[in-house]
Amino acid sequence: MSRVSPPAPPVGLDETAPAGVGLATGVAIPATAAGVAEASLESLAPLAAAAGPAPRVLVTGATRGIGAAIALALAGAGWHVTLAGRARAALEAVRASLPVAPGLAHACVELDVTDAASVARAFAEVHARGGALQALVNNAGAVETGPLARLPLETWDRMIAINLTGVFLCTQAALPPMIAAKAGRIVNIASTAAQKGYAYCTAYAAAKHGVLGLTRSLALEVASSGIAVNAVCPGYTDTDIVRTGIARIVERTGRSESESLATFTQASPLQRLVRPDEVAATVRWLCTEAPAAFTGQAFSVSGGEVMA
């Protein structure tokens, strides 16, 4: 019976990753920011219902899995959604599936989160089209696994670039107009791998722990500008990458599908995979209803696998 590597940490799926690499999702954070301006203590919920322009959000890694579910949830709440990713055709397919309120048109923008010039061009286009974003969701990510002793430097660099540097570049590009507007929400999608360790996933876990540190620190930095920064940390989520992992375990070990699924669900008290819509509902709440006093926090959507 052939050896099967342990499952990767909780991931979603998106085109941002190189071929054959699964997409990741999640982040974690605790920290509180003091001195928030009084106006920033209000949620953004009224924006979705008020007359006038709809609030605008950009979602990276939006072509499938958790990213597409987030786009659907926010579009359903009346937001103007800009879908960002590398595959234009896939972005357009998701856009065609989103609900559209009267006078609202969603948008797509091609963007490689690891390329500073690509990020700068994409955000310049988005800002020129409608000014400051009211929210940014950093969802794009990827995971590759392997023992640290044999991990190629190229793999390490790729995991840091996609999962951590991409969050830095997109956040840095979105921030100036948000700061000028004294309002905004930034949600970083990490993983329970930002809250705990997973064997054979050192590069990915290191990057996601870095996202956690970025989230905590930035929350303190921009609190007085009316901007809330939080992280959402999904556990194993029912996406294409997990289903592919289950199929590989079945193929390589001869286990049944239910036995292979248990490899991913055994750590969860719910004994099931997280649904993408459960992650999306958390993001929607953070963008539309959560008071700005909720900042610098890690919201674990893991069925109790991680309890902060």
Q: Which residues are catalytic?
A: 204
Cα distances from 198 to residues 150, 250, 277, in angstroms, run: 16, 22, 24
**52 φ/ψ sector (left φ>0, alpha ψ -120 to 50, else beta):** left
Torsion (CA) 117, 88, 11, 223 in degrees, nearest 10: 50
What is the rounded CA–CA span in Å between residue 271 and residue 250? Answer: 19
* Nearest one of 176, 195, 196, 194 to 186, comparing CA atoms: 176
Sheet holding 135-138, edge to edge: 107-110, 80-85, 56-60, 135-138, 184-189, 227-234, 298-301
* Nearest one of 219, 233, 217 to 186, comparing CA atoms: 219
* Nearest one of 235, 111, 132, 126 to 182, comparing CA atoms: 132
- Count of alpha carbons within 13 angstroms of residue 51, beta-carbon side: 0
What is the rounded CA–CA span in Å between residue 192 and residue 43? Answer: 26
Q: Which of 85-105 are b and which e, b meaning 16 or more Cβ less than 10 Å from the residue's Cβ?
A: bbeeebbeebbeebeeeeeee
Q: Specify the 3-state DSSP secondary structure of 230.
A: strand
